Amino acid sequence: MSILLEVKNLTKHFPVRKGVFSRVSGPVHAVDNVSFQIAEGETLGLVGESGCGKSTTGKTILRLVDATSGTIEWRGRRIDALSAAEMRPYRRELQAVFQDPYSSLNPRMRAADIVAEPIRNFDSAGEREIRERVAALFEKVGLRTDQMVKYPYEFSGGQRQRLGIARALAPNPRLIVCDEPVSALDVSVQAQVINLLMNLQDELGLSYLFVAHDLGVVEHISHRVAVMYLGRIVELTDKRSLFADPQHPYTEALLSAVPVPDPRAKRKRIILSGDVPSPVNPPPGCRFHTRCPYAFGRCRTEEPLMKEVRPAHFVACHLRDAST
């Protein structure tokens, strides 16, 4: 499989402003030195606690916010420094499905116009062809064509998210950033939307960056999983290896909280002490050491580097360092 997207040392800091004159007092370390690849037809799950930088990573890749440093390569070409005009051809290949299916839709536009807008922006098709393509997209995502004249408020939550997916599909993208696309939906509707995304991937050869905090959903849809903590990726591997044998203490703690369907199965619950440190002033060394039950002296002073501890299994943890 060829690589569609490659992110190298991606960093995004937001300034903290205080006082009457809004002087910058320091940065929020939202994303720090994040690196990963996404291949054609692949889904990379990005998981972690709220506020760890998952959504900011997705927005930076989409160029909705500009990176502080690092590189973003699309099919081998850097796009992180392109101007708005230079970025335009790449916009149609990089689309997004957002968390809230209502606030991400224009309440004053009819459903057909919402889906048609990207087609009008990127294609020179006539109105008849646009209408036919919109109708086909409605059917593809499980909506009726007679719903094209409705407004967003007339749809249910699951239907609105299907509408958002149809809008993302309209310009024929290659990669879709799914930012918590099912977290606002009922559990039964979540399964329908996840299955829809998987079917579309098989049919159209799409790639996804799937941002979520629900590990059950991530296990179902992802091929590989990256675990983030306080702006950094601490573990990256295929989903089978991650769920069967996690190598980072933070991943172990996350997985221990996942409900087990079999009531006879017993899983040791790992309770982390303390709160997540502030991204304004992250701790030195390993950022997880303030909550890690296995932390030792080196963890408090030396930042662990991402290393391959097994084939295609990368971890940033001193416990897995052969030289320790």
Instruction: Name residue 318's amino acid.
Output: H
Q: Which pLDDT score, from 0 to 100, does residue 231 have? A: 94
67-86 per-residue burial string, b: 16 or more CB within 10 A, e: under 16: bbebebbbeeeebbebeeee
Superfamily of domain 3-93+173-320: P-loop containing nucleotide triphosphate hydrolases (3.40.50.300)
How far apart CA 109 and CA 286 sit, in angstroms, is 48
Distance in angstroms (rounded) separating the CA atoms of residues 23 and 53: 24
In Å, what is the CA distance from 2 to each residue of 38, 78, 91, 201, 255? 9, 16, 20, 16, 31
Would you give per-residue pLDDT tens digits along the chain (324 residues)?
699 999 999 999 998 888 777 777 789 999 999 999 999 999 999 999 888 999 999 999 999 999 999 999 999 999 999 999 999 999 999 999 998 888 889 999 999 999 999 999 988 888 999 999 999 999 999 999 999 999 999 999 999 999 999 999 999 999 999 999 998 888 889 999 999 999 999 999 999 999 998 888 999 999 999 999 999 999 999 999 999 999 999 999 998 877 666 666 666 777 787 778 889 999 999 999 999 999 999 999 999 999 999 999 999 999 987 544
pLDDT score recorded for residue 123:
86
**Element (H or E) spanning 295, and its range?**
none
Has this prediction a pTM greater than 0.85? Answer: yes
For residue 323, the model assigns a pLDDT of 44
Residue 225 confidence (pLDDT): 97
The DSSP H or E segment spanning 56 is helix 54-61
Locate CATH 3.40.50.300 in the chain: 3-93+173-320
d(CA 254, CA 227): 10
In angstroms, rounded to a whole number, what is the distance separating the alpha carbons of residues 69 and 43?
25
